[in-house]
Structures are given as C-alpha cells and as structure tokens.
Amino acid sequence: MINQIGIITGVDAEAAALFPGQSADGEPLHGFLVRQVKHAGKHIAITCSGIGKVNAAMAAMMLAEHYQVDLLIVVGTAGKLSNVEGECFQIVEAVQGDYGASRHDRFAHYTAGAWPIGEAHVEPFRARTMPDVGLPKVRIISGDSFVENPDHGRRLYEALGGDLIDMETAAVAQAASRMDLPWAAIKATTDNADGNSGGDFQSNLKRGARLAADAAERMIAALPA
C-alpha cells in the first residue's frame, strides 16, 4: 500500500506544474525546498532537486529519510532519442548513459555501480508496476550531459536501447534500489536531443511539464490508497 510519495523534478517549472494551487509554500531542508500536498488519499512531498544525477540522488535520499516515502516518482521532461510515437511516456526501465569504461576504440557501458572492468554488461533499473494511464512505456537513459549532438544521441540509443534521455531518472532509480524503495517516472518530451535541443527545450518546457504533471496526477490517483 502506498501512502507517502516523494516526487522529484529537475527544474522549477516541472515542480510548479504539479498540483497547481495546492500548498504554495515550501519547507527548506538540506538545500531543497519541499512542498507538501494531498491527493487521492496520499501524502505527497515534491521537490525540485536541480539538474543532474548527484542532485537527483541526494533529493531521493532526503525524501526517503525525512518524509519516509513509500514510493519515489520522477516527473518532468526529457529528450527523445528514437522514433517512438507520443509526447508523454511512462518509464519502465532506466540506465545510466555515462557510466562505464572509456577504451581506445569505444565507450563500454556497464550497470551503474558495477565494476567497469571486463565484459561490458548493462542491467537496467526497473520501475515499479504502476496503474496504466494510457501512456507508451519506454526505457530512459540518464547522464550528466545535455545532448545537443544527434550523433551522440544515436550512439546512446544503439548502445543502450533507450527511447528518451534525461539527467535525473536513472540516478533516482539507483538510489531507490540502494534504499530498497520502489520508483516510477513520467516524462514528456521537449526536444530530439539534436542541434536544436537548447531552443526546443526552452520553448516546450512549460507544455511538457504540464503533460507530465497531468499524467502523474492521474497515475497517483489510480494507486490503491
């Protein structure tokens, strides 16, 4: 049974899109601002971690320890790496795209946290099974680089099979795994991880944030109270 939920976003616009009009004031804690709301019988703590894997993992631990959450959810936006149809997606698997070994002929990807030595192998972090709210289900790749190079995006897709790319989800997934907590994620796409990504992200951020927030709210409402 899920009663306490922690939501992590990467940027403020994504956090602001969630449950608008509820509890505008936030509580400062360890450098994060946490807004608490109630929805469909669940207590929800929302924080904008800031961009990047370290920020996201720190936020996950803070929510787990201080708010004793039963579930962590990443909500926000991402770039699209493949031709998968749709604008908003439920994440079912996450991998880190910048963890591994830099070798003379290639970058060898490994499961985040594993020894990056020997035969390369990636085991994805798997999300908790969540209520179906009609979204395509995809794998996401996370890394500490904003991708504006289509060649790099294509290499990541070919190596790791992720349809989307962001800078937070797989880090939250790894942190959740270490803490034995379930996780989930909803991501709406803003760009195609190419030369136009910077401008497209800025232009599409608010719309993408709203799409992801709406889907997350429906998913949470469908969880057994």
* Cα–Cα dist 175/180, whole Å: 9
Q: Which helix (H) or strand (E) holds 59?
A: helix 53-67
pLDDT digits (tens, 9 = 90+) for 55-78: 999 999 999 999 999 999 999 999
pLDDT at 24: 67
Report, as ranges of residue numbers, the positions in the chain whose pLDDT lies below 70. Answer: 24
Determine the pLDDT at residue 225: 72
The closest of 41, 212, 205 to 140, measured between CA atoms, is 212
What is the reported pLDDT for 186? Answer: 98
Domains of the chain with CATH codes: 4-222 (3.40.50.1580)
Looking at 86-149, list the stretches that DSSP marks H as alpha helix, in order from N- to C-terminal side. Answer: none
Provide the phi-psi class of 30: left if phi over 0, else alpha when psi is between -120 and 50, else beta. Answer: left
pLDDT per position as a tens digit, 178-187: 999 999 999 9
Counting Cα atoms < 13 Å in the Cβ hemisphere of 117 gives: 1
How do 27-29 and 107-109 pair as beta strands? Answer: unpaired
Angle at 112 between CA 125 and CA 9, to 5 degrees: 60
Minimal CA–CA distance to 78: which of 216, 206, 207, 193?
Answer: 193
Alpha carbons 49 and 60: distance in angstroms, whole number? 9
45 DSSP β-pair partners? 6, 36
Computed from CA positions of residues 42, 48, 49, 51, in that sequence, does the dihedral angle turn out positive or negative?
positive
192, two tokens:
């195609």
